[in-house]
Amino acid sequence: LAPSTQPWRPPGEPQAPFSLPAPRWPVECEVIQETTEHIEWVPPKPEPFCPPMGLKQALYTIGEEQGTVVYHSSPVLQGSCFTRARVGGAPGPLSSPAARLEGPQDTTLLFESRFESGNLQKAIKVGSYEYVLMLRPDLYTAKHTQWFYFRVQNTRQEPLYHFTIANMAKPKSLYGQGLQPLLYSQRDAQSRGIGWRRVGTDVQYYRGSAGEPPMFRLSWTVRFPHDNDTCFFAACYPYTYSDLQRYLRALAADPARSRYCTVQELCRSLAGNTVYLLTITSPGGMAGKRVVVTSARVHPGESGSSWAMKGFLDFLLSTHADAQLLRRLFIFKVVPMLNPDGVVVGNSRCSLAGRDPNRAYGMALPGSFPGVWHMRAMVQRVLAEREVVLYCDFHGHSRKNNVFMYGCDAGGDGTGTRLRQRVFPLMLSKNAPDKFSFSSCKYQVQKSKEGTGRVSMWRLGVSHSYTLEVAFSGSTLGGRSSHFSVEDLESLGCLLCDTLLDFCDPAPAKLQQCLVEVDVLLQRQMGREAGSGGSWSDVSPSEFES
């Protein structure tokens, strides 16, 4: 699990040929042979939230006795922990988890989820066009059912289908506030160039029948666009480990971009998948350059963070004048996918250790959490030589709209330090007024978050350490009330770069203006009169956020 021993190649030297080993899966997982890829598409106009349906109470228990199991794919886990992995997953012939059609008149949907990032464990047909679905918990756990991504075939265009996912884990969800599932039609992609789109009427999120721990249900109705189509449903725009590898291969093959970007192996995951580290800076002198560290996908079910990371890399590696300036000023250390194993198998939150790796930064366990352990060790090595001006870990959020940040304010610091902690998010809100909510940002360092990347890097000495949270849904700002598109998510990376230039502008005017503005906002928030002055040193973070 040691980092790559290959010598570091300074940007500007030729890149070695970039190999793309196939993803490695736990040997318990069956994997179909077909490759699943989707086109990128931006809808011609924003997709509005659907009207919230209000609260609903489940009046009955959903079980197999109420219908017919038409799909059941559950890895037979040998013991309670991960043991070994191989390319292609389980050896031997595949089972047949889907029901067989009885003839051309049989309208039963054919389900499949045994592909990269897929998640659907069971489908029960409870009516002619009604299905109850069960998600697979994160491997080697019994929890964290949130991410879904599965295929359906044998569709009919005319009927109204009703789907209910019966074992969602979280008591609150943006599905109760207008979020809709995503649908992808292969026929529309091939004939009309249309990709993922928001679908679903009567979208409801509610508590299921009594039981412990309580389960929650997501239900929606939908009409498919074509007869006999192949369609996919997903919780958010999928971005797989193979998608990242294809991106990195194109990058390495580009003689212009590869001049200032080096792709290395930070470490190997438990399954043996590579955790990639990108170093981006202009060729030439490194003296005096400060460092910016970014990462994404420590939580595999938060795929929107990968699209934001892709936008960040696209801009940073572009010919734009601001991108060129950023490369001259800084060295960027980027880990675009911290938890590739979780992404490969379709987990929501955990790695193959069966634990949340974003609570493991404080543990000296490279054998259990190699990605985050080597990430922290890399930042420690950088800090021994240079200043790290910013650390930002990209995430997704399932319960709050818009984009916002978590920072670090433990109290006890001087007024200037505490105000400056809030300046970067304020600047980002000015650059992205229709996406980023400054009022949703939080800075309290809770005990339960000590093991996160944000707090761990702050404890190491990175004074501006943040989590960037991107809603699964979309924005309610700037007159919007609509879902984020892939284009919206990618634009966040560009906006983050803009904000970095503002934040590090040698002319102090922008920084001073924002410090004054933050002070005024806090005075208003705490009920003080504007211009009353006073110190913030004795105010606890919990008082700020109460």
- For residue 286, what pLDDT band results from cuts at 50, 70 and 90? confident
Q: How many CB atoms lie within 10 A of CB 516?
A: 11
User: What is the total residue count of the chain?
Assistant: 546
pLDDT, residue 54, reads 64
- For residue 410, what pLDDT band results from cuts at 50, 70 and 90? confident
- For residue 185, what pLDDT band results from cuts at 50, 70 and 90? very high
Please name which of 292, 365, 383 lies closest in space to residue 335, comparing C-alpha atoms: 292
What is the residue-averaged pLDDT of the chain?
A: 91
158 tagged catalytic: no
Q: What whole-number distance in Å separates Cα of residue 171 and Cα of residue 317? A: 41
**DSSP annotation string for 312-366:** HHHHHTS--HHHHHHHHHEEEEEES-S-HHHHHHT-SS--TTSS-GGG-TTS--T
User: Which residues make up the CATH 3.40.630.10 domain(s) of the chain?
Assistant: 241-525
pLDDT, residue 416, reads 81
Q: How many CB atoms lie within 10 A of CB 537?
A: 13
What is the average pLDDT across 297-316? Answer: 98
- For residue 58, pLDDT over 70 is answered with no
The correct CATH number of 241-525 out of 1.10.1060.10, 3.30.1360.170, 3.40.630.10, 1.10.10.10 is 3.40.630.10
Q: Could you say which of 469, 487, 517, 545 is catalytic?
A: 469
Report whether 30 contacts 94 (CB < 8 A): yes
User: Which residues make up the CATH 2.60.40.3120 domain(s) of the chain?
Assistant: 24-235
Q: What whole-number distance in Å separates Cα of residue 445 and Cα of residue 410? A: 6
- For residue 92, what pLDDT band results from cuts at 50, 70 and 90? confident
Angle, to 10 degrees, between the axis of helix 423-431 and the axis of helix 509-525? 100
Report whether 440 contacts 446 (CB < 8 A): no
pLDDT, residue 532, reads 62
- For residue 1, what pLDDT band results from cuts at 50, 70 and 90? very low
Alpha helices in 384-445 (DSSP H): 415-420, 423-431
Q: Which two tokens stand for residue 513?
A: 């203006």
pLDDT, residue 18, reads 61
Highest mean pLDDT among 408-412, 445-449, 494-498: 494-498
Report whether 88 contacts 145 (CB < 8 A): no
What is the average pLDDT across 82-106? Answer: 92
Across the strands, what pairs with 197?
183
CATH architecture group of domain 24-235: Sandwich (2.60)
- For residue 65, pLDDT over 80 is answered with no
Give percent of the chain above pLDDT 70.
Answer: 91
Q: What whole-number distance in Å separates Cα of residue 230 and Cα of residue 203? A: 22
- For residue 369, what pLDDT band results from cuts at 50, 70 and 90? very high
- Sign, CA torsion 42/43/44/48: negative
The model's pTM is 0.94
